[in-house]
Chain A
Amino acid sequence: MIFLIEYNRREGRIVTFRDFADSQRREAEDLRLDIELVLNHKGVDHEVVLLEAENEDALRRTHQRYFKDLRQILRSSSSVISD
């Protein structure tokens, strides 16, 4: 699956989250570009990224920073051994 994430780094939160089937790559890339152009036009400093993962759970495991706050990441870091 393909996931489009628009992320506000400073606030550490997701602004836009969309998923696409693997066959919709072109559509996902076009949307990423559209969002980037709009943000650029408005002078908004957000990160827009396309990621591909087996499923959303896998994405959440490998890219926690988009989904968890700092405190949650700290907590999960200290409990990683029992995972």
Chain B
Amino acid sequence: MLEDYRRSFGEAYEAVIRTIRQRGEFPTGRLAKSTRSIVEKLGRESIRLSQMQDIAGCRVVVANIMQQEQFVASLKTDFVGASVIDRRDKPSYGYRAVHIIAMISGKPVEIQVRTSLQHRWAELSEKSSDVLDPTIKYGGGPAELRRILTKSSEEVASYEVLEATHHKFETECSEVVKSKEEAVAAHEKSKKAVAKLLKRHLPDHEVRRIQGKMQGSTRELVLLEQDVAELQGNVEDLTRKMVRLWNLNADLLAKAISWLDKLKGKKQ
């Protein structure tokens, strides 16, 4: 009976996979949740089988938070009325991702959208749950490992905030650089035109007017250069912060490896 129920999600699942592929992504699909996972979830969350929203589903891992935003927005357009569970700001025991529940002919299909960093964290948490303690995924397990996982999840979140700001500044910076290049080209053109005009022995007041305009244009260029320098400074500053944060996270994960070694030592 359970098998028939699982198989009844086949068409909805196919429709979701097809749509996502049309967006140029190749998700890994789970045709149907395993019996063990279904039984565990039913016990854990005291829900009915018909209320379970992730019998069928798929996972898409994108490079970064900007791509995640973009992809989630496109899924909202593709699956109008879909529920969006955003676990980035309110993580579930450290788990951060966006889950979209698309309803196709009354059948829910879960689409997990993770960034590469969110995904690595989730894999770490799941594997720890597998081999160390099944309660880790739900806030249990050894205190030291929980502390490391929680801290690591927070650091990934902070990193992604910096990453988004970095992207914003980079975009702004390239726009200002483009404006500056256009202004420089216009300025050079004006300079040539002015040089020609000045050869015509214009009246003094006309020469002063033209020279005033050129000085104004030069001032604008200087201001644009200052804007570019400021934005480039912001981008560099953010890059340094991101590297620092990343090193902290790497240190934290190295601690987790040491902790594992100690655990292994105790067991032997």
Interface presence of A42 (CB below 8 A): no
Report A48-73 CB contacts with B as 1/0, cut-off 8 Å. 11111110001101111100111101
Interface presence of B249 (CB below 8 A): yes
Interface presence of B130 (CB below 8 A): yes
- Is the Cβ of A51 less than 8 Å from the Cβ of B120? no
Partner of B128, one of A36, A48, A70, A80: A70
Report A12-42 CB contacts with B as 1/0, cut-off 8 Å. 1000000000000100110001001000100
- Is the Cβ of B30 less than 8 Å from the Cβ of A78? no
- Is the Cβ of B35 less than 8 Å from the Cβ of A62? no
How large, as a class, is the contact surface on chain B? 35 or more
Q: Determine the chain A residues whose CB is within 8 A of the CB of B119 once the complex forms.
A: 62
**When chains A and B are docked, how far (Å) is the Cα of A11 from the Cα of B130?**
8
Query: Which of B79-87, B192-200, B251-259 contacts its partner?
Result: B251-259
**Smallest Cβ-Cβ distance to A83: which chain B residue:** B116
Q: Determine the chain B residues whose CB is within 8 A of the CB of A48 once the complex forms.
A: 34-36
- Is the Cβ of A77 less than 8 Å from the Cβ of B121? yes
Interface presence of B164 (CB below 8 A): no
21 A-B pairs in the complex with CB atoms less than 8 angstroms apart: A11-B131, A25-B10, A29-B31, A29-B32, A40-B35, A47-B34, A47-B37, A48-B34, A48-B35, A51-B28, A52-B17, A62-B27, A62-B28, A63-B28, A64-B123, A65-B123, A69-B131, A70-B128, A77-B121, A79-B250, A81-B246
Interface presence of B55 (CB below 8 A): no
**Smallest Cβ-Cβ distance to A53: which chain B residue:** B28
**Smallest Cβ-Cβ distance to A60: which chain B residue:** B28
B interface residues with partner A (beta carbon < 8 Å): 3, 7, 10, 17, 26-37, 58-59, 61, 116-117, 119-121, 123-124, 126-128, 130-132, 134, 152, 246, 249-250, 253-254, 256-257, 260
**When chains A and B are docked, how far (Å) is the Cα of A2 from the Cα of B257?**
34
- Is the Cβ of A52 less than 8 Å from the Cβ of B28? yes
- Is the Cβ of B36 less than 8 Å from the Cβ of A80? no
- Is the Cβ of A80 less than 8 Å from the Cβ of B117? yes
**When chains A and B are docked, how far (Å) is the Cα of A40 from the Cα of B3?**
14
**Smallest Cβ-Cβ distance to A72: which chain B residue:** B127
**When chains A and B are docked, how far (Å) is the Cα of A11 from the Cα of B152?**
24
A62 with B61, Cβ < 8 A, contacts A70-B127, A77-B121 known: yes
Extra pairs beyond A29-B7, A48-B36, A75-B253 (6, CB < 8 Å): A12-B131, A47-B34, A48-B35, A51-B28, A52-B29, A65-B126
**When chains A and B are docked, how far (Å) is the Cα of A64 from the Cα of B123?**
7
- Is the Cβ of B3 less than 8 Å from the Cβ of A33? yes
- Is the Cβ of A77 less than 8 Å from the Cβ of B253? yes
**When chains A and B are docked, how far (Å) is the Cα of A77 from the Cα of B123?**
9
- Is the Cβ of B130 less than 8 Å from the Cβ of A10? yes
**Smallest Cβ-Cβ distance to B40: which chain A residue:** A47
Q: Determine the chain A residues whose CB is within 8 A of the CB of B37 once the complex forms.
A: 47, 49
- Is the Cβ of A12 less than 8 Å from the Cβ of B28? no
- Is the Cβ of B26 less than 8 Å from the Cβ of A51? no
Q: Determine the chain B residues whose CB is within 8 A of the CB of A81 once the complex forms.
A: 246
* Least CB distance, A42 to chain B, in whole angstroms: 14
**When chains A and B are docked, how far (Å) is the Cα of A47 from the Cα of B33?**
10
